[in-house]
Amino acid sequence: MKRRLPAWWLLTIPGLLAGCVSRNNMSALDPQGPVGKSQLNLIYLSTGIMTFVVIVVAAIYIYVVLRYRERPGDEKKGIPEQVAGSKKLEILWTAIPVLLLIILAVPTISTTFTLDKKPDPEESIRVNVIGYQYWWGFEYPDHKVSTSNEVHIPVGKKVDFVMKSHDVIHAFWVPSLGGKQDLNPGRQDRIVLQADKPGVYEGKCAELCGASHALMNFRVIAHKPDDFDRWIASQRKPDSTPKTVQAREGRRLFNQNCIGCHAVRGGGFKVEGRTGPELTAFSERTRIAGILPNNEKNLKDWLRNPQGFKPGNRMPAFDHLTEKQLDALSVYLESLK
Amino acid sequence: MATLIIILILVLFLGAILTGGYNKRFLERMQQSDLWSWITTVDHKRIGILYLISGGFFFAVAGLEALLIRIQLMVPNNAFIVGDTYNQLTTMHGTTMLFLVALPILFALMNFIVPLQIGARDVAFPFLNSLGYWLYVSGGLLLNLSWIFGGAPDAGWTNYATLALNDYSPGPGVNYYVLGLQISGIGTLISAINFITTIVNMRAPGMSYLRLPLFTWTTFVTSAIIMFAFPPLTAGLFMMMFDRIFGATFFSTAGGGNVTVWEHIFWIFGHPEVYLLILPAFGVFSEVIPTFSKKRLFGYHSMVFAVVLIGFLGFMVWLHHMFTVGLGPVANSIFAISTMAIAVPTGIKIFNWLFTMWGGRIRFTTAMLYAAGFIVTFVMGGVTGVMLATVPADLQFHDTYFVVAHFHYVIIGGTVMGMLAGFYYWWPKMFGRVLNEKLGKWSFWFFYLGIHLAFFPQHFLGLNGMPRRVFTFEANKGFETGNMVSTIGTFLMTIGVLILLYNVVWTLRKGKQADADPWDGRTLEWAVSSPPPVYNFAQTPRVRGLDAWWLEKVHGDGKLKPAEPLGLIHMPSPSHLPFIMAVGFFISGFGFVFHSWQVGALGLVVVFIMMYVRSFQEDHGYHLQPDELKGQGVDS
């Protein structure tokens, strides 16, 4: 009881830790599109008001704690005055928070309604999103093109993501473009996002969806409009024909082992599996299964032991294939354009 | 079934051997043992202590789970605990902390303190009090046994369908969640009914509603919230149970069910749940701050009003957990406003506490340190709550570490610090010894620093794009420092808790004996000895105003005015029925977890037999002679 505990120095903690903010391509604090920007404005506004509140409370608090703590000899002074309350003060600290909340509520509501506007179909592009445990399917209904885990969009244009879930609730989240939207099984949900600059934006599943929820990543790749049109054109006529002997062997193995779940458009297969990610133009993907850099070594590792990389996913291990067969299969996959 | 019978027989054998062989006097010996007296007790003070012990046990379990989680997240791409096991850890950490730690430890304080504060001899239904406790224990044990038998639930503490249905969580894990929470939920409901009846009916003469101590008021409102919030949970859990065990399709989209309905039901319960956790903590601070500031509570009436208002508004905000479901801008806006509105009564409380301290003479005992530490920590958690109500911004915050930071700030900064303040404050009353202040302060500073280190960086992790409930994160995305600091904070908190444990052990052996009123308290519990006699008050006191005990000390002669002459005291008899009923529920729950109709039915039969026995049992209790009457020629 002799030494006083300095309560004020705790306030330095926030300052020390504020240095944790850093720049990456998946930060809500570094938005690359109008939706993310309007959301960031509200984040700043609410943070501003709330920091003010914390500072006011902390100031009174520090004053009270320092000024009114018991000092030796205080016992003789008798009992402090027993104050019942003060109407004026109580009205004051009811009214001021109400005012602050109104300042916050008005832009909140107006932005909520603005963000919910459906885009004009003429000025937007529609992308269907289907969530699976633990990967993403994307379809471009206007262009009859589909892909998985990496969605390409044009810059400067509203993208109308229309979503469905195949199994459990997932959530579609690209922090640098804007907030998230759940994919509810049995419902159709939508979110409208737009990218202002070409680039790669990381996306994640944000609703617990099972063992590999943490690894259900995807990428949004924004192109200039011309580049985007070229990408769509290449997707409509994918180059899926094997050119070497080894690749032809790979295609045969693919037909034996993979085609039940995975589709390769234009590959001349009789079936197009839809329970696993589509693999058309696989060589152009930046990552395997949304998590590994796309190269032949990683691809073979993945084929041998998918559960080791993404626990609980539905793909069985293909460790019964020989090294040569795995080589052929990966050469074939890496030849798909 | 066979296993159960074998276990039962083994237990009987062991009981017989350990108590000196099986013979005619076996039952008699058992009934005189200490263990038996604790199992059958209906004394609100002993039940309070039991709540404290079991809550403490589950706190250790859930705390360990938190440590494992933080060790996994200490460095990027860690492979310590991944996938499903990690999901089991987060699910069990959340479920255990909320259902088996926070509320029961608050129940411990309520049970012990509320009857004393209102000048009563016990709660209104001592039998139900015991039943509520044993149901909570059996539900909690059932839930935690999942670790050993078949795997823990892994669909998050929110247990969203369809992930929680058989198709996507095929093991028994979620069955444990459903049945464990169902059983302990019945216990919680029973206890809430008991508290409400007690506070309405058993107040001492003169203890009007507006003279109730704030802790009793918050207990009252909390119990009312439980009465309205737990039935939706019960209904939801039943539907989930039918979906999983009997093949119903309430939430299965394949069968025409609706997943969003579970989210609504869960949060209609779930949001009031967090308010019923924070209000008793508010109550504790409203006792601790005036006592150690030597001032009456500033704005008593508005404090009471704020508590009632928070309890009421708590039912109108559940949708803010579901802004990302896509229910439309109208619904989202309405719930944004109602959520923001709660900040107003909460703000009133904060300022009233500050102005209680203003002009007072603040003694920084450990309990007061927790109360003082609470104010700033809780405000930091509260303001992020308002930020989360800002719908467009919430679309970014939702399901990220920002939310994790927010609710740990309010639940640890509010509820847990409230629990700890109450713990240090009322420990002398409960156990007759004062906890060591030096150890208490060391423990506080470790714990307090730990909270801020662990959870402050998580705000930024969330904003930088780290979703919650992920078992790993990538390197070079700006997540390393925050996660490392956060883990270090968790270790500091652990050290704080370990010091607290040591303090408890040390105090029980060598602690300073407490007199009746070690803190110069203001409310009635400080008028009786520490620990109080089994009948609490030899004579029911007459209450003459707010802060009844303070009033008698300052304006009276320092003694409570009696409201009745000295006489024999009517006490409830102990009963073993609640314990056996809880065992019946446990067996039944265990049976249903494994789809065994027979075992499930058997357990329920045990429950019904006990209810039958109870219904036709004539039990008028017994009469006790208070110490004050002994030696005056009055026999019981």
Enumerate the residues of chain B whose CB falls inside 8 A of the CB of residue A184. Answer: 259-260, 325-326
> Burial of A198 by CB count in 10 Å (0-12 exposed, 13-18 middle, 19+ buried)?
middle
Q: How confident is the model at residue B1 (pLDDT cuts 50, 70, 90)?
A: low
Residues A260, A227: one domain?
A: no
Would A323 be classed as within a structural domain? yes
pLDDT beyond 70 at A24: no
Q: Are residues A144 and A66 in the same domain?
A: yes
Question: pLDDT digit string (tens) for B315-340?
Answer: 999 999 999 999 999 999 999 999 99
Please, what is the average pLDDT of chain A? 89
pLDDT at A18 exceeding the cut of 50: no
Residue A53 inside a domain? The answer is yes
pLDDT at B626 over 50: yes
- The shortest C-alpha distance from B576 to chain A (Å) reads 43
Chain-chain contact of B392 with A115 (C-beta, under 8 angstroms): yes
- Put simply, the answer to whether B325 touches A184 (Cβ < 8 Å) is yes
The residue out of A167, A200, A234 marking a domain boundary is A234
Contacts with A26 from chain B: Cβ below 8 Å:
464-465, 477
Whether residues B478 and A27 touch (CB distance < 8 A) is answered with: yes
Short-list B82, B74, B78, CA closest to B481: B74
Q: Give the gap in angstroms from C-alpha B466 to the nearest C-alpha of chain A.
A: 9
In B, minimum Cα distance to A175 occurs at: B465
State the pLDDT at residue A10. Answer: 43
Is the pLDDT assigned to residue B617 strictly greater than 90? Answer: no
Domain assignment present for residue B9? The answer is no
d(CA B196, CA B186): 16
A85 inside domain? no
Distance CA A254, CA A216 (A): 24
So what's the pLDDT on residue B35?
Answer: 87
φ, ψ at B628 (rounded to 5°): -60, -25
Joined tokens for residue B580: 């056996």
Q: Which residues of A touch B463 (CB under 8 A)?
A: 21, 27-29, 43
Distance of CA A4 to the CA centre of its chain: 47
Residue A249 has pLDDT above 60, yes or no: yes
Tens digits of residue pLDDT in B110-166: 999 999 999 999 999 999 999 999 999 999 999 999 999 999 999 999 999 989 999
Q: Does residue B460 belong to the interface with chain A, where contact is any CB pair within 8 Å?
A: yes
For chain A, say whether B453 makes contact (Cβ under 8 Å).
Answer: yes
Query: With an 8 Å Cβ cutoff, are B383 and A50 in contact?
Result: yes
- Hey, what are B297's tokens? 């509570």
CA atoms of A56 and B165, how far apart (whole Å): 48
Any idea how long chain A is? Answer: 337
Instruction: Measure B178 CA to nearest chain A CA, in Å.
Output: 18
Please count the structural domains in chain B.
1
Domain that holds residue A273: 245-333
- Across A69-107, b (16+ Cβ under 10 Å) vs e yields bbeeeeeeeeebebbebeeeebeebbeebeebbeebbeb
| B486 interaction partners in chain A (CB closer than 8 Å) | none
Domain assignment present for residue A215? The answer is yes
pLDDT at A7 over 60: no
Write phi, then psi, for A129 (nearest 5 degrees): -115, 130
Say yes or no for a CB contact (<8 Å) between A187 and B260. Answer: yes
- In Å, how far is A122's CA from the nearest CA of chain B? 23
Task: Name the band, by pLDDT with cuts 50, 70 and 90, for residue A9.
Answer: very low
Q: Is it the case that residue A254 has pLDDT exceeding 90? A: yes
Strand (E) or helix (H) holding A332: helix A323-333
**Residue B6, token pair as written in the block:** 């074998």
The residue among A205, A208, A292 with the most chain B CBs within 10 A of its CB, best to mutate, is A208
**Residue B1 covered by a domain:** no
Q: Answer yes or no: do A46 and A162 share one domain.
A: yes
The owner of tokens 């509140």 is: A53
Chain A contact present for B82, CB below 8 A: yes
Query: Which residue reads 């009007």 in tokens?
Result: B208
Of A13, A108, A190, the CB nearest to B391: A108
Q: Which residues of A touch B512 (CB under 8 A)?
A: none
Q: What one-character-per-residue DSSP string does A287-314 give?
A: EETTTEE-SHHHHHHHHH-HHHHSTT-S
Q: Is B253 on the interface with A (CB under 8 A)?
A: yes
Q: Looking at the complex, does the CB of residue B324 fall below 8 Å from at least one CB of chain A? A: yes
Write down which residue in A207, A234, A261 finishes a domain: A234
Find the mean pLDDT for residues B601-608: 96
Please give the pLDDT value at position B3. Answer: 78
Alpha helix stretches (DSSP H) within B73-172: 83-95, 103-117, 126-145
Mean pLDDT of B257-270: 95
Dump the DSSP string for B368-380.
HHHHHHHHHHHHH
Does residue A56 sit in the same domain as residue A127? Answer: yes
Q: Which three-class secondary structure state does DSSP give residue B154?
A: coil
Nearest-Cα distance to chain B for A333, in Å, is 26
Q: Are residues A69 and B358, on separate chains, in Cβ contact within 8 Å?
A: no
Same structural domain, A249 and A211: no
Among A76-80, A298-302, B65-69, B220-224, whose mean pLDDT is lowest? A76-80
CA distance B634 to chain A (A): 43
Quick check: A213 and B87 CB within 8 A?
Answer: yes
Q: Do A105 and B469 touch (CB under 8 A)?
A: no
Subunit contact A97:B347, Cβ cutoff 8 A: yes
Peptide bond connecting B126 to the previous residue in cis, omega within 30 degrees of 0: no
Does the pLDDT of residue A337 top 80, yes or no?
Answer: yes
Task: Answer yes or no: is pLDDT of B28 > 60.
Answer: yes
Instruction: Output the pLDDT for position B31.
Output: 76
- What pLDDT does residue B27 have? 72
Report the mean per-residue pLDDT for chain B. 93
Q: What H or E segment, with its residue span, contains residue A219?
A: strand A217-223
Contacts of B343 in chain A (CB under 8 A): 97, 101
Q: Which residues of B touch A28 (CB under 8 A)?
A: 396, 463-465
Residue B581 three-state SS: helix
B36-73 pLDDT, tens digit per residue, is 899 999 999 999 999 999 999 999 999 999 999 999 99
Is residue A15 in some structural domain?
Answer: no
To the nearest whole Å, the CA of B9 is away from the closest chain A CA by 40
Identify the CATH number of the domain in which residue B223 sits. 1.20.210.10
Do A62 and A160 fall within a single domain? yes
Q: Give per-residue pLDDT as tens, B175-216.
A: 999 999 999 999 999 999 999 999 999 999 999 999 999 999
Q: Which of A207, A291, A292, A314 to mutate to test the interface with B (most CBs of B within 10 A)?
A: A207
Q: Does B326 touch chain A (CB under 8 A)?
A: yes
Kindly determine whether residue B296 and residue A189, on different chains, have CB atoms separated by under 8 Å.
no
Query: How buried is residue B257: exposed, middle or buried, by Cβ count under 10 Å (0-12/13-18/19+)?
Result: buried
Do residue A271 and residue A316 come from a single domain?
A: yes
Distance of CA A141 to the CA centre of its chain: 23
Supply the ipTM of this predicted assembly: 0.91
CB contact under 8 Å between B391 and A28, yes or no, is no
Q: Is residue A176 part of a domain?
A: yes
Tokens linked to B316: 């109108």
Q: Does B441 touch chain A (CB under 8 A)?
A: yes
Indicate the residue of A45, A61, A185 with minimum beta-carbon distance to B376.
Answer: A61
Q: Which residues pair with A292 in a beta bridge?
A: A288
Tell me, yes or no, whether A41 and A148 share the same domain. yes
- Which of B333, B361, B441 is nearest residue A80 as measured by Cβ atoms? B361
Phi and psi, residue B81, nearest 5°: -140, 115
User: Looking at the structure, do residues A254 and A317 belong to the same domain, yes or no?
Assistant: yes
Mutate to test the interface with A, among B305, B342, B384, B399 (most CBs of A within 10 A): B399
Q: What is the pLDDT of residue B21?
A: 67
On the question of pLDDT at B11 being above 90, the answer is no
**B605 in contact with A at a CB cutoff of 8 Å?**
no
The answer to whether position A154 is within a domain reads: yes
Which one of A9, A20, A215, A305 would you mutate to disrupt binding with B, by most B Cβ within 10 Å of its Cβ? A20
- How does residue B619 score in pLDDT terms, banded at 50, 70 and 90? confident
Query: Is residue A250 scored above 60 in pLDDT?
Result: yes
Confidence tier at B22 by pLDDT (50, 70, 90): low
Q: Which of chain A's residues have a Cβ under 8 Å away from the Cβ of B326? A: 181-182, 184, 187, 189-190
Residue of B nearest to A177 (CA): B396
**In which domain, by residue range, is B330 found?**
40-629
Q: Is residue A100 part of a domain?
A: no
pLDDT band at residue B476, thresholds of 50, 70 and 90? confident
Residue B20, pLDDT > 80, answer no
> What CATH number has the domain bearing residue A138?
2.60.40.420
Instruction: Tell me the Ramachandran region of residue A219: left when phi exceeds 0, alpha when psi lies from -120 to 50, beta otherwise.
Output: beta
A interface mutation test: which of B383, B401, B486, B547 has the most A CBs within 10 A? B383
Question: What's the token pair of residue B610?
Answer: 């006990």
Q: Is residue B10 part of a domain?
A: no
CB contact under 8 A, B465 and A26: yes
Determine the residue of chain A that is closest to B258 in CA distance: A186
Could A208 and B360 be called an inter-chain contact, meaning their C-beta atoms sit closer than 8 Å? no
Q: Are A216 and A140 in contact (CB under 8 A)?
A: no
Does B54 map to a domain? yes
The verdict on B372 touching A (C-beta cutoff 8 Å) is yes
CB contact under 8 A, A83 and B386: no
Task: Using a CB–CB cutoff of 8 Å, tell me whether B592 touches chain A.
Answer: no
| Residue B6, domain member (yes or no) | no
Contact A50 B384 (CB under 8 A): yes
Cβ separation A85–B441 shorter than 8 A: no
The first and second tokens of residue B472, run together, are: 């790993």
Q: Are residues A250 and A221 in the same domain?
A: no
Q: What is the pLDDT of residues B530-558, one digit of tens each?
A: 999 999 999 999 999 999 999 999 998 88
Tokens of A234: 């290449």
| Structural domain count, chain A | 2
Name the minimum distance, in Å, from the CA of A171 to any CA of chain B. 8
- Asked if pLDDT for residue A14 goes beyond 60, the answer is no
